[in-house]
Structure 1
Amino acid sequence: MAKTRANWTAESWKDSELLECAMVVPENDDTASFTFRAPSGAWFDYQPGQFITLDLPVDPKNVPGGNVQRTYTISSSPSRPLSITVTVKAQAGSIGTRWMLDHLKPGVKIKAYGPNGIFTSHKHPAKKYLFISAGSGITPMMSMTTWAWDSGQMPDIVFVHAARRPSEIIFRERLEQFANRVPGLQLRFTVEEADPFRVWPGYKGRLSQIMLGLMAPDYLEREVFCCGPEPFMQAVRDMLNALGFDMNHYHQESFGLAVATEAEKPALTDVVPSEAGASISFTASGVTAPCTETDTVLAVAKRSGLNIPSGCTFGLCGTCKVKKTAGEVHMVHNGGISDEDVAEGFILACCSHPMGAISVEV
């Protein structure tokens, strides 16, 4: 006999009990949401943004012993405690996630551990949030946003998400339904390219400082949560550091490395220009000028009476591109230079800070 809401128990699920897959919802290519329930009827108690570890019985031809443990952020909200959902996206070479997409069906029971994790808005209550995610890094943000919606007290949330195409924005329709009904949720999507034969009125291109300033002009006042691939999160941290954001209000979770406790939290070793001494040798002019790491190459050149053509001064137009021949710089640009140019030693003078002694062809 199926249980009704009236006779479900109020006990919390313990990871000694197997989870039973109750529903599978395809999201887009190689992405699906798997909803689980506890056969005993136990409820799920966790904090939005936390993760769960699944013990997956994959093909023993792929893994000795046949089982792998994979960690997935919970995309559902504890405000809906009768079930728990993870949303997974298969990457190249995926084993556990590939098995889930190919074999995990309703009725299948699997072992799970958790929930765990410190990446949650519950630990950092604020009136204003800025959620920044890319790809499947959207899952903890979806959990936290759903919690805010269900609480009936939706705070001020700017939800920024980056995807390859609009059709690959996971949860887009659900988020738009939320945003259509409350003023506190503002959605800001940016994509690398539009879908063929579909108009895209949103942002296009890599997330940049200028784009972030347009999406959330009051970003300095917000508690920031970020999740995505490591290079994406590094770029976000570089942007915020360059913009003077107080990084005590920045929190991140990689979908490649979920952190269970504060003790496991990796130290961030970002390069941040300081007042330490530096110098720039302008080799074509025979001028060497002392400066600090907080100075830009363009500012030092102007101060030295040298002319580097420039336009936007935001790292967007690329007019101030010069060749660096020695030393290291910290450059946070807004798309005005290609990766190929950077590999060849070119920098944008307007947004490059000398980290010690450097030489440029000016």
Structure 2
Amino acid sequence: MNDLSGIPARANWSDDELLECVSVIPEMNNTATFTFRAPSGALFDFLPGQFLTLEIPAPGGTVHRTYTVSSSPSRPRSISITAKAQEDSIGTRWMLDNLAPGVRIKAFGPAGVFTHLNFEADKYLFISAGSGITPMMSMTTFMFDLGSEPDIVFVNCARRPGEIIFRERLEHMASRLPGLDLKWVVQTPDRYQPWTGYQGQFNQLMLGLMAPDYLEREVFCCGPEPFMQVVREALQGLGFDMNRYHQESFHAPAETEADLPELDDVVPDEDTRAEVVFAVSRVTAKVAETDTILAAAKANGLNIPSGCTFGVCGTCKVRKTEGEVHMVHNGGISEDDIAEGYILACCSNPIGRVSVEV
């Protein structure tokens, strides 16, 4: 047995000490992983999924930016963040242009409540888009390093395969960890590179194929707000217990439970009444919010042509002339059609009074 008594104990890093950049690894265009160490040799103690706040000396003045830690606390001698610069980026752009080995920077934290350790479960479903993959990477690496076999369905959505951050590292872990099931979703393939995975916008159908037992999983989600709303609506529409759903915002990570924002999603209520006016047929139906426009039409002897009844085929597209609906579709209607007032009757729930051209 090795004698470790001669190894000196190290203190944990505190944000009184500057961080020193020790490596910058390009991940893709305008995206890099920055790794830091404490000049004193202190160790990093944090929860997987937490974030750091960096004090960045940008040209126009000091700015503070939060970045999720992409490394794992199971590897405590360094700490890494992975940042992507958007078109209007100030802080991340400065980092990409100026941070290099040897440069020191002020940081605060780590902090945050977005971690699987606060909601331990037998099964997890991690869903992310773009650089929202970073907390999922930290949590997955942590479980990988424990040496046991977790049950994780890991979903990441990107514009194209070449923009999936950490793809090779995650696939390497998955090759040694049967319990890590990777699912990539892209909008379009890379040119000259065949793509056999999922393609399009994440939706309920994909969810059911990726994780048929989603009702049994603890769900963690990170990405732009419109993406997270799509995920929430998909889960709500499938009857998922949203108390088991947890999300982290790109722009406003929460330091405490009290900082978590209230989700104001529209969720149809079976006890709330709505009214559907079929304008052409001159029929008005009193229904529950949980009834679809298609169901209301059929119940009143009206025929709206339909096919899949799951928001895929687009057969039941009709024009809405008044009111609001809650529509969770699976790709059967374009954004242009929605902007022109069209809905899919099979997956649209009336909210209040709604009029359609039927």
TM-score calculated relative to the size of structure 2: 0.97
Give the unaligned 5+ runs of structure 1: 1-5
Matched, 1:194 2:185: no
Q: Which residue identity lines up with residue 184 of structure 1 in the other structure?
A: G
> What is the CA distance between 1:154 and its match in structure 2?
2.8
CA–CA distance in 1 between the matches of 2:306 and 2:106?
59
Indicate the residue corresponding to 1:246 in structure 2.
241
Q: Does the 8 Å contact 1:9/1:41 carry over to 2?
A: no
Matches within 5 A, 1:100-249: 100-249=95-244
> What is the CA distance between 1:9 and its match in structure 2?
4.2
Q: Does the 8 Å contact 1:296/1:352 carry over to 2?
A: yes
Indicate the residue corresponding to 2:19 in structure 1.
19
> What is the CA distance between 1:26 and its match in structure 2?
0.5
| Aligned partner of 1:326 among 322, 327, 334 | 322
Q: Which residue identity lines up with residue 50 of structure 1 in the other structure?
A: Q
Report the secondary structure of 2:58's partner residue: coil
CA–CA distance in 2 between the matches of 1:266 and 1:208?
24
Deviations 1:85-105 (A, max 9, x none): 000000011000000001100
CA–CA distance in 2 between the matches of 1:29 and 1:254?
22
CA–CA distance in 2 between the matches of 1:249 and 1:264?
18
Deviations 1:154-194 (A, max 9, x none): 31000000000000000000000011111100000000000
Indicate the residue corresponding to 1:303 in structure 2.
299
Question: Higher mean Cα deviation, 116-125 or 151-160?
Answer: 151-160
> What is the CA distance between 1:7 and its match in structure 2?
5.3
CA–CA distance in 2 between the matches of 1:169 and 1:8?
40
Matched, 1:77 2:72: yes
> What is the CA distance between 1:55 and its match in structure 2?
0.6
CA–CA distance in 1 between the matches of 2:190 and 2:147?
35
CA–CA distance in 1 between the matches of 2:199 and 2:336?
21
Matches within 5 A, 1:88-107: 88-107=83-102
Indicate the residue corresponding to 1:50 in structure 2.
50
Q: Does the 8 Å contact 1:8/1:41 carry over to 2?
A: no
Indicate the residue corresponding to 1:291 in structure 2.
287
Indicate the residue corresponding to 1:37 in structure 2.
37
Give the unaligned 5+ runs of structure 2: 1-5
> What is the CA distance between 1:8 and its match in structure 2?
6.1
> 4+ residue runs of structure 1 moved beyond 2 angstroms?
6-10
- Between Structure 1 and Structure 2, how many residues are aligned? 352
CA–CA distance in 1 between the matches of 2:353 and 2:19?
58
> What is the CA distance between 1:10 and its match in structure 2?
2.2
Matched, 1:271 2:258: no
Q: Which residue identity lines up with residue 161 of structure 1 in the other structure?
A: N
> What is the CA distance between 1:57 and its match in structure 2?
1.2
CA–CA distance in 1 between the matches of 2:222 and 2:198?
19
Quick one: structure 1 residues 143 and 8, their matched pair in 2 at CA, closer, same or farther if it must change by over 3 Å? farther
CA–CA distance in 1 between the matches of 2:14 and 2:8?
15
Report the secondary structure of 2:134's partner residue: helix
Q: Does the 8 Å contact 1:54/1:111 carry over to 2?
A: yes
CA–CA distance in 1 between the matches of 2:20 and 2:8?
16
CA–CA distance in 1 between the matches of 2:55 and 2:356?
54
Cα RMSD for the two superposed structures? 0.9
CA–CA distance in 2 between the matches of 1:23 and 1:358?
57
CA–CA distance in 2 between the matches of 1:223 and 1:154?
16
Q: Which residue identity lines up with residue 93 of structure 2 in the other structure?
A: R
> What is the CA distance between 1:306 and its match in structure 2?
0.6
TM-score calculated relative to the size of structure 1: 0.96
| Aligned partner of 2:276 among 255, 262, 280 | 280
Indicate the residue corresponding to 1:3 in structure 2.
none
> What is the CA distance between 1:279 and its match in structure 2?
1.4
Deviations 1:274-332 (A, max 9, x none): 02011111111111111100000001111111100001111011000001111110000
Quick one: structure 1 residues 8 and 197, their matched pair in 2 at CA, closer, same or farther if it must change by over 3 Å? farther
Indicate the residue corresponding to 2:3 in structure 1.
none
Q: Which residue identity lines up with residue 349 of structure 1 in the other structure?
A: A
Matched, 1:354 2:350: yes
CA–CA distance in 2 between the matches of 1:201 and 1:10?
48
Quick one: structure 1 residues 206 and 8, their matched pair in 2 at CA, closer, same or farther if it must change by over 3 Å? farther
Q: Which residue identity lines up with residue 342 of structure 1 in the other structure?
A: I
Overall identity of the aligned pairs, in %? 66
Report the secondary structure of 1:67's partner residue: strand
